[in-house]
């Protein structure tokens, strides 16, 4: 083989691998990409039942219902619309009513979102970024929503009799 032929072989090989990779990427892009929606987007866009997407929003206060055998139902809202969600399994530690959530799944025929995954990963402000962005866009975002309100909630937890506090108050 001459030098030129060798180089051609190598270049040809590289191009083949690259072409295969591009084909793989394009193929995977078509089948395995999941879009993100909020309840109001779902109500406007008429996503067909069975199409997978990610739903993000706030878990409506008081909507969480525990059923038998780890089945749960709750509502996800974004300030404009709400969507009922069902899920079977264990909810992540950071799942709370009134907090942000991202669930992956599809709508069923009756318009209920059947989630097969409820995402556990949030950053420390307990607000998934997608949800925060979507809420901001719709004007339902309060800047102090994230960490601050969370700490407040934690600290406002049940307090005991308060008597020793009173003792101090008098003695001062």
Which residues make up the interface to another protein (CB under 8 A)?
1, 3, 6, 9-10, 13-14, 17-18, 20-21, 24-25, 27-29, 31-36, 54, 66, 69-70, 89-94, 120-125, 128-130, 133, 144, 147-148, 150-157, 159-172
Task: Point out which residues pair with 84 in neighbouring strands.
Answer: 75
Instruction: Pick the closer one to another protein by CB: 23 or 109.
Output: 23
Which residue in this structure is represented by tokens 């809420």? 135
Nearer to another protein, 30 or 110 (CB): 30
Do residues 54 and 37 make contact, with C-beta atoms less than 8 angstroms apart? yes
d(CA 136, CA 9): 54
Shortest separation between residue 168's beta carbon and another protein, angstroms: 7
Q: Give Cβ neighbours of residue 92 (< 8 Å, ≥ 6 apart).
A: 118, 119, 120
Least distance from C-beta 77 to another protein, angstroms? 18
Distance CA 115, CA 127 (A): 19
Q: In angstroms, give the least distance from the CB of 60 to another protein.
A: 17
């Amino acid at each position: 083989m001459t030098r030129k032929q060798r180089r051609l072989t190598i270049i040809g090989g590289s191009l083949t691998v690259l072409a295969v990779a591009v084909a793989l990427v394009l193929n995977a892009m078509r089948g395995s990409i999941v879009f993100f929606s909020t309840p109001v987007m779902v109500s406007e866009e008429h996503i067909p039942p069975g199409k997978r997407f990610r739903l993000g929003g706030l878990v409506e206060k008081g909507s969480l219902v525990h059923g038998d055998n780890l089945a749960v139902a709750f509502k996800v809202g974004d300030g404009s619309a709400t969507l009922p969600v069902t899920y079977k399994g264990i909810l992540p530690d950071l799942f709370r009513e009134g907090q942000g959530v991202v669930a992956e799944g599809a709508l069923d025929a009756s318009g209920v979102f059947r989630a097969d995954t409820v995402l556990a990963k949030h950053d420390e402000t307990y607000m998934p970024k997608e949800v925060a962005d979507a809420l901001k866009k719709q004007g339902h975002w309060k800047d102090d929503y994230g960490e601050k309100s969370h700490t407040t909630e934690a600290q406002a937890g049940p307090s005991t009799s308060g008597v020793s506090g009173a003792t101090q108050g008098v003695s001062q």
